[in-house]
Amino acid sequence: MRALDFSIRRARLPNGLRVVLSPDSSAPTVAVAVYYDVGFRSEPEGRTGFAHLFEHMMFQGSEHVPKMQHAALVQGNGGSMNGSTTPDYTNYYQSLPATALELGLFLEADRMRSIQLTEQNLANQIEVVKEEVRLNVLNRPYGGFPWIHLAAAMFDTFANSHNGYGSFVDLESATLDDASDFYRRYYAPGNAVLCVVGDFEPAAARRLVRRHFGSVPQRAVPARPSFAEPPPTAARRTRHADGQAPTPAVAIGYRVPSPQDGHDVMVALEVLAELVAGSEASPLTRRLVRDTGHATAVAAWLGTFPGAGLPFERDPTRFQFLVHYAEPAALDPIVIAAADELEALARGAGEGEVRAAVNVVLAEYLQRVDGFLSRALTLAPLELLYGRAELVNELPAMIASVDPAAVSRAAQALLAAPPTILELTTT
Amino acid sequence: MTVTLPPVAPPPLPRVPRVTAHRPAGGPTVWAVRKPGIPMVEVRAWIPAVSASAAQSARTSLMARTLLAGTTDRDDLGVAAAIQAIGGSLRVSATVDGVMVRGSALARHLGDLAGLLGELLGGATYPAARVLNRRERLRRELVIQRSNPATVAADATARRAFGRHPYGLGTPDPDQAARIGRAALLRRHAEVVRPAGATVMVVGDVRPAQAAARVAAWLEGWSGGAAAPAAGEPRHRTGLRVQVIDRPGAVQTNIRLTAPSLTRADDAYPALSLAVLAFGGYFASRLVANLREDKGYTYGPRAGIDHRAAGSRLSISADVATEVTGAAYLELGYELGRMVTDPPAGDELTSARRYRIGGLGTSLQTQAGLASQLSQLAAGGLELGWLGSHFRGLERVAAHDVAAAAQRWLAPSAMVAVLVGDAERIVPQLRGLADVEVMGH
């Protein structure tokens, strides 16, 4: 296995902005990503969905860039851009021709310095977000399942359990004051990581970063609260009715150790997910889908939204199975099989099945860091959440070193607390 | 305070990678491209296999689903274990035009991957027990797919535009899929999974001449007769009433418009592709500015050109709140009209051009992206060299070319329209805007 050796240059500006530069001249483009250390776990009660709504507002005009101009400048110069909101961070990113690096930095710095908040733009984006929620959740079968409903079933605190897309009542209650408070509180340079990957001279890029971000005033960085809550002491069982779904499904959620406490068990959990349900030959898939026909499809992953080698999420987070099935009577055998297979792995895993799963996780990781943009979207959260962008080069060896004993320890960690069983019913 | 935007020098045209081709007698054509960076290799195989009927479409789908279920040397678990062991993935999917195989592996295992591919394409056995299991899975998955309003809309639009042509078939019928037996799959495999018309592509950390020759050698056990026939040219229907597919209680309406379009080989295609981009192909487009960023009717309106082996078509879509369906439909018509009365020029045209060239260039930078570009071109009978001439064509497009393309190919009169939503609430909104017929779901 050839090791990865992506170059990593770190800097910190006087205003607190953390900067990660990773030069690579294999293609004439650059990727620029800014990660803010705030996600939907931090939104206040009565304002569910606000972190995501606010992400939309970041495209509505900044100090020197009117509405629609951000997209016009990025795309009109041959680039692309987007943003996303997750439990623990909100990100903004661009892919650009190398000749447009300074433009990309200017645009990100401009909206880190100040944004234009107007009643009209807020009202407009509330409608757009409601359409996004209708599209992805309300007007389709299995919408938002299981990420929205499993959080509610597994966790108790508002921060961990509420719907990150938000309720329409809360979205419609959002005000400009909410937005400016949120911006002032969480969008400080000291609360962000800037990552640039691609075709540039490091010294020149550092100069450009200083030119554009150096003048963004330092602002107080909020203390990050702990969102920890104790694992459940008894098994939980809940239901979510989905009248649009033609057949039922079940999500089974397990608490995992804190991702901050040690990388080894997290990487082993990634391998375990692939081992147990990644292929037709995986024990759970083989048993439920192939041999008994109880299930139509089985999946397993770590984190609310899958990460890359390590979860891009802080404690508390989860490991889950998602199983689609047809006959209601199949539910019990499915739940029993999931527990059985984890218990079997907790007792011992086979050398061959672990080696195979390691190879697949490794290959998927390598594919993930092939492109500049997806590499930036790996480097930046590794720096933000773990303070170690270098993990991008270290993860292949960490994945490769997962052995049967490590997989068994990962399975034992899952079984340390009782699971949450969330049924999706068709009525 | 005013600031000057940082200047952006026009980027150079993207470099189109060199393809090494190997054409053994009897096929398949093998293309190999060197793309180091990560120690991986991507493989694609495109096998033309048009489905002439709903029954054939269901058979091709199940064949794709069962192709990995066994060979004379290994059963389905053996195939799955072999793929995992090389850090690989291997997926087979069916479209109305044919079968696409997508695979990857750690680069040092290219031989294993190609060998396995040859074994499967040359000798998949479709074991009876596996067919029974997978046809039931396919049936259930098709039921789920068909419950999605986006699928309902896509199928209805295809049926409306293409009638009985294969391109009107849509998602296979679940019950039809559930009745197919092993013999029918073996027959279908023998009919269409033939090396003669196929293209096998290798992209990655490889030496291309050597890789192409070796992959061809690994596939030698794969044999068969002449390539399966392609689809005939579709006749795209126009002048139809707007079809409303009733989905009682739906909180959104899926609006779909479609019209015949130019193929990638046409001289006027670069101009039309820029017209479609400016209209609704990216965030900086007219549809997004109006329907999303001004009116808030929809999250993502979109226009694009879909390419099939025997023809291309324009697709326009917007999923809008039920209560603004009529208003959104009106704005779509207004923006189509404005493409003729006020066609894109100046900065609007430059922006679309740079976005198109930049996006295609970026798509070539990863192994998976390049493999995907290659395979999409192969499925349309084109080679990677097409991209170079497309870039030059895009550079030459003038405003009057875009205006002419928009006038000819974005005319509202050529559109077939389908709306999936709550008929009781949306039909009254369309009164005066469209002549409507309502269908059950």
> Which of B2, B3, B8, B364 is the mutation pick for testing A, counting most A CBs within 10 A?
B8
Average pLDDT over residues A247-265: 96
> Which of A209, A370, A377 is the mutation pick for testing B, counting most B CBs within 10 A?
A370
Pairwise CB contact (< 8 Å): B355 & A67? no
Which residue in A79, A130, A366 is closest to B39 by CB distance? A366
Residues of chain A in contact with residue B300, where contact means CB-CB under 8 angstroms, are 135
Put simply, whether A204 touches B (Cβ < 8 Å) is no
For A167, the 3-state DSSP assignment is coil
- The CA distance from B369 to A303, in Å, is 26
Pairwise CB contact (< 8 Å): A367 & B38? yes
Pairwise CB contact (< 8 Å): B319 & A131? yes
pLDDT of A244 above 70:
yes
Enter the tokens of residue B42: 């991507």
Pairwise CB contact (< 8 Å): B299 & A280? no
Question: SS3 for chain B, per residue?
Answer: CCCCCCCCCCCCCCCCCCCEEECCCCCCEEEEEECCCCCEEEEEEEEECCCCCHHHHHHHHHHHHHCCCEECCCEHHHHHHHHHHCCCEEEEEECCCEEEEEEEEEHHHHHHHHHHHHHHHHHECCCHHHHHHHHHHHHHHHHHHHCCHHHHHHHHHHHHHHCCCHHHCCCCCHHHHCCCCHHHHHHHHHHHCCCCCCEEEEEECCCHHHHHHHHHHHCCCCCCCCCCCCCCCCCCCCCCCEEEEECCCCCEEEEEEEEEECCCCCCCHHHHHHHHHHHHHCCCCHHHHHHHHHCCCECCCEEEEEEECCEEEEEEEEEEEHHHHHHHHHHHHHHHHHHHHCCCCHHHHHHHHHHHHHHHHHHCCCHHHHHHHHHHHHHCCCCCHHHHHHHHHHHHCCHHHHHHHHHHHCCHHHCEEEEEECHHHHHHHHCCCCCEEEECC
pLDDT band per the 50, 70, 90 thresholds, residue A408: very high
Closest-CA residue of B relative to A136 is: B299
pLDDT of B2 above 70:
no
Pairwise CB contact (< 8 Å): B5 & A73? yes
DSSP A71-88: HHHHHHTT-EEEEEE-SS
Which residue in A78, A134, A359 is closest to B85 by CB distance? A359
Quote the pTM value: 0.97
pLDDT confidence of residue B224: 87
Pairwise CB contact (< 8 Å): B3 & A64? yes
> Which of B15, B35, B91, B362 is the mutation pick for testing A, counting most A CBs within 10 A?
B362
Mean of all residue pLDDT scores within chain B: 95
Residues of chain A in contact with residue B9, where contact means CB-CB under 8 angstroms, are 99
Pairwise CB contact (< 8 Å): A125 & B300? no
pLDDT of A203 above 60:
yes
Enter the tokens of residue B137: 């899975």
Which residue in A99, A142, A372 is closest to B11 by CB distance? A99
Pairwise CB contact (< 8 Å): B296 & A131? yes
Residues of chain A in contact with residue B319, where contact means CB-CB under 8 angstroms, are 131, 134-135, 139
pLDDT confidence of residue B25: 85
pLDDT band per the 50, 70, 90 thresholds, residue A241: very high
pLDDT confidence of residue B193: 96
Which residue in B85, B295, B359 is closest to A356 by CB distance? B85
- Report the DSSP pairing between strands A318-325 and A249-255: antiparallel
Average pLDDT over residues B396-424: 96
pLDDT tens-place string over residues B332-354: 999 999 999 999 999 999 999 99
pLDDT band per the 50, 70, 90 thresholds, residue A2: low
Average pLDDT over residues B178-187: 97
Closest-CA residue of B relative to A248 is: B144
Closest by CA to B247, choosing from B345, B164, B149, B341, is: B149
pLDDT tens-place string over residues A157-183: 999 999 999 999 999 999 999 999 999
Put simply, whether A98 touches B (Cβ < 8 Å) is yes
Which residue in B77, B150, B299 is closest to A281 by CB distance? B77
pLDDT confidence of residue A74: 98
Chain A nearest C-alpha distance from B347 (Å): 8
Who's near A171: CB < 8 A, 6+ residues apart? A48, A49, A50, A53, A126, A129, A130
pLDDT confidence of residue B17: 96
pLDDT tens-place string over residues B276-291: 999 999 999 999 999 9
pLDDT confidence of residue A1: 52
Mean of all residue pLDDT scores within chain A: 96
Chain A nearest C-alpha distance from B385 (Å): 19
Chain A nearest C-alpha distance from B53 (Å): 26
Chain B nearest C-alpha distance from A366 (Å): 6
The share of chain A scoring above pLDDT 70, in percent, equals 100
Which position has the token pair 């990025």?
Answer: A74
Closest-CA residue of A relative to B293 is: A124
Residues of chain B in contact with residue A427, where contact means CB-CB under 8 angstroms, are none
Contact by Cβ (8 Å): A125, A83: no
pLDDT band per the 50, 70, 90 thresholds, residue B157: very high
For A126, the 3-state DSSP assignment is helix
> Which of B74, B84, B325 is the mutation pick for testing A, counting most A CBs within 10 A?
B84
Which residue in A140, A289, A359 is closest to B87 by CB distance? A359
pLDDT confidence of residue B231: 87
Pairwise CB contact (< 8 Å): A279 & B83? yes
Enter the tokens of residue B312: 């291309």
Which residues 174-193 on chain A approach chain B with CB closer than 8 angstroms? none
Enter the tokens of residue B50: 């048009």
Pairwise CB contact (< 8 Å): A371 & B369? yes
pLDDT confidence of residue B238: 82
Put simply, whether A362 touches B (Cβ < 8 Å) is yes
The share of chain A scoring above pLDDT 90, in percent, equals 97
pLDDT confidence of residue B350: 97
Pairwise CB contact (< 8 Å): A102 & B251? no
Put simply, whether A369 touches B (Cβ < 8 Å) is yes
pLDDT tens-place string over residues B59-106: 999 999 999 999 999 999 999 999 988 989 999 999 999 999 999 999
